[in-house]
Amino acid sequence: MSADIVSQLKKDLDDCKFFSLQLDESVDLTDTSQLAMFVRMVFSDFEVKEELVKIIPLKGHTRGEDIYSKVKEYLISENIQIQKPVSITTDGAPAFTGRTNGFLALCRKDSSFPKFFSYHCIIHQQALCAKFLNMNDVMKTVIKIVNKIRAHALQRRHFRGLIEELELQHGELPFHTEVRWLSKGKVLYRFNQLLPAILTFLKERNEETFVGILEDSNWLQDFAFLVDITEKFNDLNLKLQGKDKHILEMISEVRAFSEKLTLWEKNVMRGELKHFPTLNKQIETAEIPYERERFFKIITSLKEEFEKRFSDFKRIELVCQFVLFPLSNINVEEVSALIEKEFHKDPSSVELELISLRNDLAVKSVADPINLWPVVPNEKYPHLISVAQQVKAFFPSTYYVSQHFQV
């Protein structure tokens, strides 16, 4: 960054009321871990700025304590106020989420940090779920075969799209960064489309091991399931990557996806696979039984993992809804109790402010109901404005991390 940009960023971090951090670890071409730190700041007038703060190299270990010490060291060295973060978003890897020594756990133990919310970047969520489903062997096989095609079939027109997708999403990175191509889902999709041609290519080259795998009905059933479930996560990713979103939109999408997982759970157990077209087609032609109980357990485990990683959303959903629609008809006592619990505000004061705001004709007369907060007088509603600013500081999408991935 230029000196002017750095200076402006420092000024913004000093001037803002609250901010949220979004942290992402990836591996560069030299196999060095890089920690990208993004910030979303909200100011007293409710203006919002999002910036890449720093890319911190993590040489050697990348344990939770290593990330924690690097992040805190940077914040202190730049005189960034550690009491301002309201949420920290991570990629959900164990180094971040470990119960005892993960980055988030260590921050929560540190009295320098305030109480904060946490949730996880959807892009990495997909990769984590794939690992959680124990389907790494399927993905590794796909990558090995596509790399072989790339090495020997560059002039074959019908493989060109597959090769381009691999190079676009995966490039020359080592396999443990499969997040990059998995997050797009296009490699699996193209591989499935070209499966007959790929099998012919492998037979021509006498690749008996790979031919055996691609003719194995058990492997094909797992592959078909992974194609379908990856596409569903990819659709979710795309919905959450747009700019100018509100945290409530993210909560709504996560809630809807969780409910869809419940539906798919029932579908696979009943053998109703209209939402799993690739798997359905494979089962219709397979010579082995459909493993309904196995796929049912996989989706059940996936749903539990997904809900656990976004559990903080449930705690703040009603408050976020109020912040987005402050003049709506709400249960004053319920919202006040949640604000007391999650944002540590005096409940009696909050109750009175909620009632006053709902009946404030002066505010109603000058404000757009959706963009009301900038005209709400701070001296009259200090608690509600503070809560609204904190909610506004939450990262509402994975847009900036997704841009970082594409660099």
**Residue 274 class from Cβ within 10 Å (0-12 exposed, 13-18 middle, 19+ buried)?**
exposed
Domain that holds residue 220: 126-312
Whether residue 327 is found in the same domain as residue 298: no
Report the C-alpha gap between 286 and 295 in whole angstroms.
16
> What average pLDDT does range 24-48 have in this prediction?
84
End-to-end Cα, the chain, rounded Å: 15
The reported pLDDT for the residue numbered 364 is 87
Mean pLDDT, all residues of the chain: 83
Whether residue 32 is found in the same domain as residue 93: yes
The reported pLDDT for the residue numbered 305 is 78
- CA dist 377 to 192, 339, 350, 363, 387, Å? 58, 19, 15, 9, 14
pLDDT in tens, 248-271: 888 888 889 999 999 999 999 999
Whether residue 82 is found in the same domain as residue 103: yes
Q: What's the number of domains the chain is made of? A: 3
The reported pLDDT for the residue numbered 200 is 85
With a CB cutoff of 8 Å and minimum separation 6, the contacts of 82 are 72, 75, 76, 112, 113, 114
CA torsion sign, 247 to 391 to 48 to 75? negative
Whether residue 249 is found in the same domain as residue 357: no
Whether the predicted pLDDT of 392 surpasses 90:
yes
pLDDT band at 58 (very low <50, low <70, confident <90, very high): confident
- CA dist 202 to 144, 149, 198, 208, 259, Å? 12, 9, 6, 8, 41
Share of the chain above pLDDT 90, in %: 44
Which residues are registered as beta bridge partners of 10? none
Whether the predicted pLDDT of 133 surpasses 80:
no
Give the E-state strand segments of 98-186 in sequence order: 117-120
Q: Measuring CA to CA, which residue among 273, 275, 274, 265 is closest to residue 295? A: 265
Whether the predicted pLDDT of 375 surpasses 80:
yes
pLDDT in tens, 343-369: 999 999 999 999 999 999 999 888 777
Whether residue 366 is found in the same domain as residue 269: no
> What average pLDDT does range 15-42 have in this prediction?
85
From 284, 312, 340, the end of a domain falls on 312
Instruction: Name the most confidently modeled range: 24-38, 221-235, 257-271, 305-319.
Output: 257-271
Whether residue 231 is found in the same domain as residue 106: no
From 285, 312, 339, the end of a domain falls on 312
Q: Are 404 and 374 in contact (CB under 8 A)?
A: no
From 312, 332, 347, the end of a domain falls on 312
Tokens of 251: 């909560």
Report the run of H or E that residue 124 belongs to, with start and end: helix 122-132
Higher pLDDT: 158 or 362? It is 362
Report the C-alpha gap between 19 and 16 in whole angstroms.
7
Q: Are 55 and 62 in contact (CB under 8 A)?
A: no
